[in-house]
A and B are shown apart, each in its own frame.
Chain A
Amino acid sequence: MGSLSGRSKVVSNKTMSFAEKIYLPAIIGGLGITISHFFKKNATIQYPEVKRPIAEIYRGKHVLKRDDQGRERCTACGLCALSCPAEAITMIAAERKEDELNLYREEKYASVYEINMLRCIFCGICEEACPKEAIFLTNEIVPSNLHRSDFIYGKDELVEPVDHPVDISHRQTPEVLRFKMDKNQIHNV
């Protein structure tokens, strides 16, 4: 009786040759393969000591920038929190006092600024949304932690130190800046 579908195939059930039957040539061949791997270069990267090279525009841990006078740039407008697709950012705004002129650039600032690193998907949209060039992603990797609560980063971890500014020039090239300032683009209207 012929095949109904016409798709059936005859399986080849060929008998093994003597060399295949005694199995030894195959074993010796296998031993050769494993011993050749024994002397090959290892693929291991010894992580904490050696790090895999990552792109200069890698999107890692966030930084809240200061301006050239050391004042926080963030004005707590909430655009980053609004644009965040993972809803990882929250903040509480406060008004700048007379004696805080050297601390905050704008008259409104974020007294609390928190990013939940477990929610964050490191897409970088907060950076795109920020009108004050305040938040940037860096090529630093968020380290592991023992408690979920430790992944909520406050201002103490996010704001760059006054004496050690974080270099974000690779993420903020003049082209990027021009693109962000271009009012013809839909996102800046």
Chain B
Amino acid sequence: MNTLSRRSFLKVGAAAGAGAASVTALGFDTAQAKSIKQNFKISDTKEVFSICPYCAVGCATIAYVKNNEIVQIEGNPKSPINQGTLCPKGASNHQLAISNRRMLKPLYRAANATEWKEVSWDFMMEKLARNVKDARDSSFVTNDSAGNPVNRTEGIGFAGGATISNEEGYLTAKVMRSLGAVYVEQQART
């Protein structure tokens, strides 16, 4: 993918460092030991181009992936914006990516219930589709009081999309407008 990968860059840097370093009182070259450790962490990983999900500077990152696991995420030195650097938030990308606090199953809470219930996606989708149709049909305005055609659904609101991609956001706008939604917003104002 890259002509000079981050990995080979580190190797070159480590070799130069080792040449300059002397053997320490411990009797071995710590610079070399360090370089071996670094090599292990990202060795045999696939480099995947990504972008930091926090603010909108658009820092490019490299995710190092092995066996469908993200080993590390670092700043991408090729980027003309961040040139390999990341801020304290950006540097925590890896921890966000591998968080064990994610929601991993659909959860449903019935009206007045005191607890969540784990349910299937099919259950959620069937129920939601019915809710959407009922809300649309019961709140749909074909013509306003002045007789103008307006074809709008007043009973459904949507907000979101500041951290989904353009493609997801575009599909969201297309779906919501086609459902007749007029109450459509994202985080630009908030």
> Do they bind each other?
no
Name B's A-contacting residues (CB within 8 A).
none
